[in-house]
Chain A
Amino acid sequence: MTLQHGAIDCDIHPTVPSVRDLLPHLEPYWREHILRRGLERDNFDISAYPSGSPLTSRPDWRGAGGLAATNLASIQAQLLDPFRPSAAICNVLHGAQMMMSEDLSLALCRGINNWLIAEFLDRDPRLRASITVPIHSAELAAEEVERLAGDQRFVQVLLLAMAEVPLGRRQMWPLYRVAEKYGLPIGIHAGSSFRHPPSAGGWGSLYLEDYVSFAQGFAGALNSLLAEGVFQKFPDLKVVLIESGVTWMPASMWRIDKTWRGVRSEVPWLAQLPTEIIRDRVRMTLQPFDAPPDVAAVTRVLEQLGSDDMLLFSTDYPHWQFDGMDALPDGLPPALIQKILFDNPRATYPRLAALHPVGETTS
């Protein structure tokens, strides 16, 4: 299904072409550190799937060097001009977030944020971004959020679903405190630091199990945030699950409600059904929707989610989730589409609340 102009695209992926491109955006110390170690020769891809696999980019969006979305001109020509979103949120996926050295991790994340400002945000007013932070140091992540929070074009903080510790743990709280203070949702993108098993059962052998297990990773992250009481500790914090797929959520909601009824005294701060907290505080980006192209099935999933407020429009550009202009999965009711495209993103991101939809329709 094609979409109205003026939508808010909550997940697009500019690609860092190489660490060399980050060098001008690094502090001098870290520029020299990287050059002395020869780190500029590796781009620190985070490979949730093989880097050349079709999912990484629509073939018509892939650039000459094989990478997509490495520069503003491509993003304008392929996404911003044809789809005409009123805003699009850039989420950069890069190994910078999970370097073993927390200081190097921060330095590279800073470089990426500076690169985003210089190459994208300063050059197209439709672009917004998530703050890229070192995921294994809440203190350093909070420092980077403090550095950039004054720039209203940064609308979110970016984490990955699977890190060295579950995301609800108290050592993460300094980051959540500062995110809440500045009205920045915590965006949790599909991904891992890839030095711990991608499933609770250990290391798999094959790509299939690895990729499908990502939904478990999201469920684990969400269960941790709920059980540890993050939503009670930070009552204004919102969480956006990005590129998580949607259809795993209803079963997970049912399971946590059911189990909570029996063991709620273990988590006494969870004084209401976990699902009510999820519906109130957790949002999910639309692509990949992971539902069959069947109106009846989509209707059932939406009924089971039980809220019209949870879904946020995304193209997941340049990842290959749809062809042509068919950015919306089939089977979504029209009133819900309006909410997904405009209202829900504006309600989720305080810094986008003032955006106005264009209200134009593509033919």
Chain B
Amino acid sequence: MAKHVVARASEIPPGHRKIVSVRGREIGIFNLGGEFFALFNRCPHQGAALCTGEIVSRLESTIPGDYRLSRPGEMLRCPWHCWEFDIRTGQSWCEPNSVHARTFPVTTEPLAAETVDVTIAERYVVVIL
């Protein structure tokens, strides 16, 4: 597993995403309140560009008329068939035991980016692939 520097952390503020390409694969990088998560940009259902889908919350209920919104902004809804996935785990809402969006470990690391005559220290997003 190699580490790949894919973005400056500051490029992806909380609640936002960036789709990057690593060794020919498109990967969505999501920032949930300062934590970064990476999902393969391919829905396990039928292959849509999952990471371009709407970022949504969990809408839950135990009985009709009882409505709860939880985990705001932590779910991803596929643009094709609206299947919902947990951005943190890739777990499908409707088929939690059998359908998972592929996830990748992601860290932020301080790196020194080399230039000819100046060095800028900043945090970068790193995907391990």
- A joins B in a complex: yes
Interface residues of A (CB under 8 A from B): 170, 228-229, 232-233, 260-265, 268-269, 271, 273
**Is A268 within 8 A of B94, CB to CB?**
no
Chain B positions within 8 Å of A262 at CB level: 81-83
Interface size class of B (residues with CB under 8 A): 10 to 19
The reply on B62 being an interface residue by CB < 8 A is yes
Kindly state the separation between the CA atoms of A229 and B95 in the bound complex, as whole angstroms: 20
Kindly state the separation between the CA atoms of A232 and B82 in the bound complex, as whole angstroms: 24
**Is B67 within 8 A of A268, CB to CB?**
yes
Chain A positions within 8 Å of B59 at CB level: 265, 268
Which of A170, A260, A261, A269 lies at the interface centre, i.e. has the most chain B CB atoms within 10 A of its CB? A261
Write 16 A-B pairs (CB below 8 A) sorted by A numbering.
A229-B61, A232-B63, A260-B94, A262-B81, A262-B82, A262-B83, A263-B82, A265-B56, A268-B61, A268-B67, A268-B68, A269-B61, A269-B63, A269-B66, A271-B60, A271-B61
Closest chain-A Cβ to B84's Cβ sits at a distance in Å of: 7
**Is A264 within 8 A of B60, CB to CB?**
no
| Tally of A-B Cβ pairs under 8 angstroms | 41
* Given A260-B94, A273-B94: A265 and B84 interface contact (C-beta under 8 Å): yes
Kindly state the separation between the CA atoms of A331 and B18 in the bound complex, as whole angstroms: 57
**Is A229 within 8 A of B94, CB to CB?**
no
**Is B93 within 8 A of A264, CB to CB?**
yes
Closest chain-A Cβ to B60's Cβ sits at a distance in Å of: 5
Chain A positions within 8 Å of B60 at CB level: 268, 271
**Which of A228, A260, A264 meets B64, CB within 8 Å?**
A228
Closest chain-B Cβ to A24's Cβ sits at a distance in Å of: 43
Q: What 17 additional pairs, Cβ within 8 angstroms, besides A233-B64, A268-B68, A271-B62?
A: A170-B64, A228-B64, A229-B63, A232-B61, A232-B64, A233-B63, A261-B83, A261-B94, A263-B82, A264-B94, A265-B59, A265-B84, A268-B59, A269-B62, A269-B63, A269-B64, A273-B94
**Is B95 within 8 A of A261, CB to CB?**
yes
Which of B56, B61, B67, B84 lies at the interface centre, i.e. has the most chain A CB atoms within 10 A of its CB? B61
Beta-carbon nearest neighbor of B60 in chain A: A268
Kindly state the separation between the CA atoms of A14 and B68 in the bound complex, as whole angstroms: 49
Beta-carbon nearest neighbor of A264 in chain B: B94
Beta-carbon nearest neighbor of A257 in chain B: B94
Chain A positions within 8 Å of B63 at CB level: 229, 232-233, 269
Beta-carbon nearest neighbor of B67 in chain A: A268
Q: A-facing mask of B95-120, CB < 8 A → 1, else 0?
A: 10000000000000000000000000
Closest chain-A Cβ to B48's Cβ sits at a distance in Å of: 12
Chain B positions within 8 Å of A260 at CB level: 94
Closest chain-B Cβ to A56's Cβ sits at a distance in Å of: 39
Which of A232, A262, A264, A271 lies at the interface centre, i.e. has the most chain B CB atoms within 10 A of its CB? A262
Q: A-facing mask of B63-79, CB < 8 A → 1, else 0?
A: 11011100000000000
Q: Nearest 10 pairs between A and B by C-beta? A: A229-B64, A268-B61, A262-B82, A261-B94, A269-B61, A265-B59, A262-B81, A268-B59, A232-B63, A268-B60
Kindly state the separation between the CA atoms of A101 and B109 in the bound complex, as whole angstroms: 76
Kindly state the separation between the CA atoms of A263 and B56 in the bound complex, as whole angstroms: 13
Closest chain-B Cβ to A266's Cβ sits at a distance in Å of: 9
Closest chain-A Cβ to B71's Cβ sits at a distance in Å of: 13
Chain B positions within 8 Å of A261 at CB level: 81-83, 94-95
Kindly state the separation between the CA atoms of A228 and B83 in the bound complex, as whole angstroms: 21
**Is A232 within 8 A of B62, CB to CB?**
yes
Kindly state the separation between the CA atoms of A245 and B67 in the bound complex, as whole angstroms: 36
Kindly state the separation between the CA atoms of A233 and B64 in the bound complex, as whole angstroms: 7
Chain B positions within 8 Å of A170 at CB level: 64
Closest chain-B Cβ to A108's Cβ sits at a distance in Å of: 32
Kindly state the separation between the CA atoms of A124 and B85 in the bound complex, as whole angstroms: 58
Closest chain-B Cβ to A180's Cβ sits at a distance in Å of: 13
Which of B63, B64, B82, B95 lies at the interface centre, i.e. has the most chain A CB atoms within 10 A of its CB? B64
Beta-carbon nearest neighbor of B84 in chain A: A265
Kindly state the separation between the CA atoms of A228 and B59 in the bound complex, as whole angstroms: 16
Closest chain-A Cβ to B76's Cβ sits at a distance in Å of: 13
Kindly state the separation between the CA atoms of A198 and B62 in the bound complex, as whole angstroms: 33
Beta-carbon nearest neighbor of B68 in chain A: A268
